Amino acid sequence: MQERYEPAAVERAAQDYWDSHGTFAARESAGRGKYYCLSMFPYPSGRLHMGHVRNYTIGDVLARFMRMQGLNVLQPMGWDAFGLPAENAAIANGVPPARWTRENIAYMKQQLRALGFGLDWSRELATCDPDYYRWNQWLFLRMRERGIAYKKTGIVNWDPIDQTVLANEQVIDGRGWRTGALVEKREIPMYYLRITAYAEELLGALDTLRGWPERVRTMQANWIGRSEGCEVAFPYASDTSAALGGAGALKVFTTRVDTLFGVTFAAVSAEHPLATAAAGRSAALAAFVAECRRGSTMEADVATMEKRGLATGLHVLHPLNGKPIEVWVANYVLMSYGEGAVMGVPAHDERDFEFAHRNGIALRTVVRPAGADWDEVGAEWRAAYAAPGITCNSDRYSNLDFDAAVDAIAAALEQRGLGQKRVQWRLRDWGISRQRYWGCPIPLVHCVQCGEVPVPDAELPVRLPEDLVPDGSGNPLAKSEAFLRCACPKCGKAARRETDTMDTFVDSSWYFLRFASSDQHAAPVDERVQYWLPVDQYIGGIEHAILHLLYSRFWTRAMRDMGLLDLTEPFANLLTQGMVLNQIYYRQPAAGRRLYINPAEVELRADAAGQRSAYWLTDGQGVEQGGLGTMSKSKNNGVDPQSMVQKYGADTARLFMMFASPPEQTLEWSEEGVQGQYRFLRRLWKAVHEHLAAAPVSAHQGLVRIAADAAGAPLSATATQLRRQTHHTLERVTGDIARRRVFNTAIAATMELLNAVTRYDEAGTAARTVRHEALEIIVLCLSPMVPHICHELWHALGHERALIDEAWPQPDAAALRQETVELIVQVNGKLRGRVQVAAGADEATASAAALADAGVRRFAGEAPPRRVIYVPGKLLNIVV
């Protein structure tokens, strides 16, 4: 072998070997255990960034490891290719999104190949391929037939200047990103998927997802948000009936119906029909409702905005005592949650308390604590006010505890037909219509005569024209006569195509199924799904903890209920990779606009006061500091791995990412240390080279094992110790990868072993064999992380077969055996010494050994200990 480690040559050779042997092309094999290892497919934004390298290296480590465990591994890759950034690029450069996307895919694919991931490229798919998205359309039509997809109105961000719908990301401080215009809310008809029909099942099944991180299950459970409460109808007072032109009732949902007698106001959202009616009668109210229509639809914005409201002058009646209650319009009530209206109980709800305070609304204490902590709700809010207690001031429902009050009041409401207990979900149906070009067309036709008509299956896919260039003002599909014009499938007369496209989350909600049957042209999936699914290991960023993963769980169930699948949960095990963060810098030249500047082009300087300011190297002028955030195209703070790969090779880049931190942890980007990882690989190369240069090694299979030298004499103490460390390392690395899913400690363990091998200086045949064994284990253990160099070194160490085709070995139990162990000796919990005892020593023996130690006795004194705590093999604590 070569004396110098030259990564470029080593990596090319290894990749050529895997390619020419079709090593990673997966085939179904009945009876053989399978392992479907899937990393979330990337959006083709242009170039890979370090977050991708981290994600795909984790997947590749597990895939290679499981393959060596004897499993039939499938690791596919594809492209989440529809979406907004392609349209933004088109606006900026005048290039059609299709071309931009396909060029990006080509470039990023070559980057993935250079990193040596063991991917089955024969199953590659891109969601913008008609072959893929025709099945989105087909599945959508099936859902529409079953009522899972349905139409209703929804609220979107509207840019009044560009006359276009904006994504939340395109709204900056309440203004349109291109025009700077104040954004308005607008109600438009959209398609929704009835995910709420699965709320109960999606929540209940979280318990079965034992291979998912606890935090993700908690987040999903909170997102679905089951709450038990009561629906209450407040009949309209005569003024409200008059305003709305008829009798009726304002419906609200509450989890605290025990506080019903504490209601002193009702609040409705600005979009509520009652608000609309009231606005028609009052200029001030109309102005307020109009103001509420400004700003974004984002919940985070709504929740942090100052809570304001205006009285409508209209009233509803308390359902049990008939007293009038004034209705307010409030900007914090969301039309999309519950009924778009809430009852206000300022004495027992913090938000209502603040609202009432600001608007001079009375409060009424209707719950007292069981203890005597407080009696009447006072002027300052206390958390205890919101706790359940004993009802009071509530007519005949006073002096009841929470459960009794809820039962009695709910029964009374039900008897009057003005309410009943029910379960409310926080989860809302999934709006999938997008007024955008670069997405999957919704397969519908609008006919003057027949109305909305589905495109027949035989005419799918409805192809998206690929030559349009959006300009930021509305959907180019709506301006393309070639796309729009069609014949009605029902009556044959001239009709127009639907121009809305689907949310890109639709694309990613079932791609993992398509990988199992990507060459099937007659159906979205076929029987091969049965073999490969569920995904055994799914790996992706924690930012997908809710939406993508929940939508996928829903979509899989919907397909199951259509009889297309025998599968309920798509992902058996989930590893949520921590985000790779980098600094964010930007300039905001005009309101609503933001220009992000790559951290590589920014210099930090400290002024006299120590205040650090950032400057753009291009013009030397200052830039705003946006703090830390996930590497992304939109924030222009990604770090391209290309230069690192070019300088040090793919193995160093992979090793560096895996060694930097455990996979689930957030990682602040820094390139410090990459040099050290390269140095380690070079030392490994050198150690193997020097070992082989000293004497030739004969070809052999499997691992070298040695327990005694040729003459039958036992190994030296140092040789025995190195063997023990060798097999201990194998044990640690195996546990770290298979059980703990941490790779930084696995790498650290092999580094320690290499250090030990370097220090080991015994000569002779037995010593050589012990060293050879240690080097083989190091190469084996590192191979999932740095497969190229290990591929080469494995051959050099005398193996015919490729390393990737070897079986992962078991540690040698004999080598691990230990005669004596070191005990930590504490006195009153403080470390005071260490003693060697026989491996199975009992407490008396250990205690005697410890007290024989002069250092220990100095602290323990001569008196007998009050108590001794003995943890065999580990520690002895003497309490005096």
Partner RNA sequence: GCGAAAGUGGCGGAACUGGUAGACGCGCUGGCCUUAGGAGCCAGUGGGGCAACCCGUAAGAGUUCGAGUCUCUUCUUUCGCACCA
- With respect to RNA, which residue has the nearer C-beta, 165 or 719? 165
Residue selected from 190, 341, 780, 786 as contacting RNA according to rule CB under 7 A:
190
Q: Min. distance of Cβ 444 from RNA in angstroms?
A: 16
Segment 152 to 171, residues that bind RNA, using CB under 7 A: 154, 156-157, 165-169
- DSSP assignment of 165-208 equals EE-GGGEETTEETTT-PBPEEEEEEEEEE-GGGGHHHHHHGGGG
Regarding 662 and contact with RNA (CB under 7 A), the answer is yes
Cβ at position 759, least distance to RNA in Å: 7
Gap between the Cα atoms of 135 and 627, Å rounded:
42
By rule CB under 7 A, what string of x and - marks binding of each residue 845-874 to RNA?
----------x--x--------x-x-x--x
Q: Residue holding tokens 């025998």?
A: 566
Nearest one of 73, 271, 124 to 187, comparing CA atoms: 271
Exposure letters 284-316 (e unless 16+ CB within 10 A, then b): ebeebbeebbebbbeeeebeeeebbbbbbebbb
Question: Is residue 71 close enough to count as binding RNA by CB under 7 A?
Answer: no
CB atoms within 10 A of CB 842: 11
Asked whether the beta carbons of 74 and 35 are under 8 A apart, the reply is yes
378 binding RNA? (CB under 7 A): no
Q: Is the dihedral of CA 155, 156, 158, 164 positive or negative?
A: negative
Is residue 782 at the binding interface for RNA, with CB under 7 A as the rule?
no
Is residue 582 a contact residue for RNA (CB under 7 A)?
A: no
CB 779 within 8 A of CB 803: yes
User: Residue 849's Cα: distance from chain center in Å?
Assistant: 53
Is residue 434 within the footprint of RNA (CB under 7 A)?
A: yes
Pick from 245, 606, 759, 763: which binds RNA (CB under 7 A)? 759
As measured in angstroms, the least distance from the Cβ of 793 to RNA is 17
- Give yes or no for residue 300 binding RNA (CB under 7 A): yes
| Residue ranges in 321-350 that form contacts with RNA under rule CB under 7 A | 337
Determine which residue in the list 249, 748, 802, 816 makes contact with RNA, applying CB under 7 A. 748
Q: Are 660 and 667 contacting, i.e. CB atoms less than 8 angstroms apart? A: yes
Q: Which of residues 464-483 bind RNA (CB under 7 A)?
A: none
Site for RNA in 588-627 (CB under 7 A): 627
Radius of gyration of the chain (CA): 34
Q: Does 486 bind RNA (CB under 7 A)?
A: no
Q: Work out how close the CB of 6 gets to RNA at its nearest, in angstroms, rounded to a whole number.
A: 13
Instruction: CB nearer to RNA: give 168 or 420.
Output: 168
Q: Which of 599, 687, 692 is nearest to 640 (CA)?
A: 599
Per CB under 7 A, the list member of 21, 151, 215, 700 interacting with RNA is 215
Identity of the residue, 391 or 677, whose beta carbon is nearer to RNA in the bound complex: 677
Which residue number, 194 or 364, has a Cβ lying nearer to RNA?
194
CB 196, min distance to RNA, A: 8
Cis peptide before 369 (omega within 30 of 0): no
Distance separating alpha carbons of residues 496 and 448, to the nearest angstrom: 9
From candidates 556, 725, 826, 847, binder to RNA by CB under 7 A = 826
Query: Does residue 3 belong to the site contacting RNA (CB under 7 A)?
Result: no
Of 131-139, 256-264, 300-308, 410-418, the segment contacting RNA by CB under 7 A is 300-308
Near RNA by CB under 7 A: residue from 634, 642, 720, 721: 634
Helix axes 717-735, 744-759, angle to 10 degrees: 170
Number of residues that bind RNA (CB under 7 A): 105
Give the residue carrying structure tokens 């980057």: 111
Amino acid in the structure at residue 434? R
* Contact flag: residue 32 with RNA (CB under 7 A): no
Please, are residues 311 and 326 in contact by the beta-carbon 8 Å criterion? yes
Q: CB-based contacts of 819: which residues, under 8 Å, 6+ apart?
A: 838, 839
Beta bridge partners of 152: 190
Using the rule CB under 7 A, give the single segment among 52-60, 464-472, 498-506, 602-610 that binds RNA.
498-506
Binding residues among 234-273 for RNA as defined by CB under 7 A: none
Choice between 202 and 233, CB closer to RNA: 202
Which sign does the torsion angle of CA 834, 837, 841, 845 carry?
negative
| Of residues 488 and 644, the one with the C-beta less far from RNA | 644
Residue from 105, 545, 559, 564 in contact with RNA (CB under 7 A)? 545
Considering only residues 222 to 241 of the shown chain, the ones binding RNA according to CB under 7 A are: 222-223
Residue 752 lies near RNA (rule: CB under 7 A): yes
390 near RNA, rule: CB under 7 A: no
Q: Tell me how far, at minimum, the Cβ of 549 lies from RNA, in Å.
A: 10
Nearer to RNA, 279 or 440 (CB): 440
Q: Which is nearer to RNA, 50 or 581 (CB)?
A: 581
Q: Where are the alpha helices (DSSP H) in 37-154?
A: 50-68, 84-93, 97-114, 130-145
Taking residue 142's Cβ as centre, other Cβ atoms within 10 Å add up to 18
Instruction: Provide the minimum distance between the beta carbon of 379 and RNA in the complex, in angstroms, as a whole number.
Output: 20
CA dihedral 520, 521, 524, 530 (to 10 degrees): -20
